[in-house]
């Protein structure tokens, strides 16, 4: 039972080390930015994050209502 517990702790520690290898061992180690607004491929297609698109649509609606 103790061997299974120690082996599982070893596997968890190894997986954390391997998943964070670039973050732990590189000079400018940072986690990759996974935010949609910073993705260059999506920017080229005109896709932005939901909160930014919602704000843009609300501004369009407010401008339309003010022009009446």
**The residue to which tokens 């704000």 are assigned:** 55
38-67 b/e with 16+ CB inside 10 Å = b? eeeeeeeeeebeeeeeeeeeeeeeeeeeee
Which tokens go with 55? 């704000």
Q: What CA–CA distance (Å, rounded) separates 67 from 50?
A: 26
- What pLDDT is attached to residue 5? 96
Q: In the 8-state DSSP scheme, what is residue 19?
A: H
Return per-residue pLDDT of the chain as tens, 68 residues: 999 999 999 999 999 988 888 777 777 777 767 778 778 888 888 888 888 878 888 888 766 566 65
- What pLDDT is attached to residue 46? 81
By the 8 A CB rule, do 47 and 36 touch?
yes
């Amino acid at each position: 039972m103790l061997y299974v517990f120690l082996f599982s702790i070893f596997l968890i520690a190894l997986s954390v080390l391997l998943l964070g290898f670039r973050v732990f061992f590189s000079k400018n180690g940072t986690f990759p930015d996974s935010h949609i607004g910073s993705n260059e491929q999506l920017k080229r297609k005109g896709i932005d994050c939901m909160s930014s698109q919602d704000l843009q649509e609300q501004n369009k609606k407010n401008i339309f209502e003010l022009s009446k």
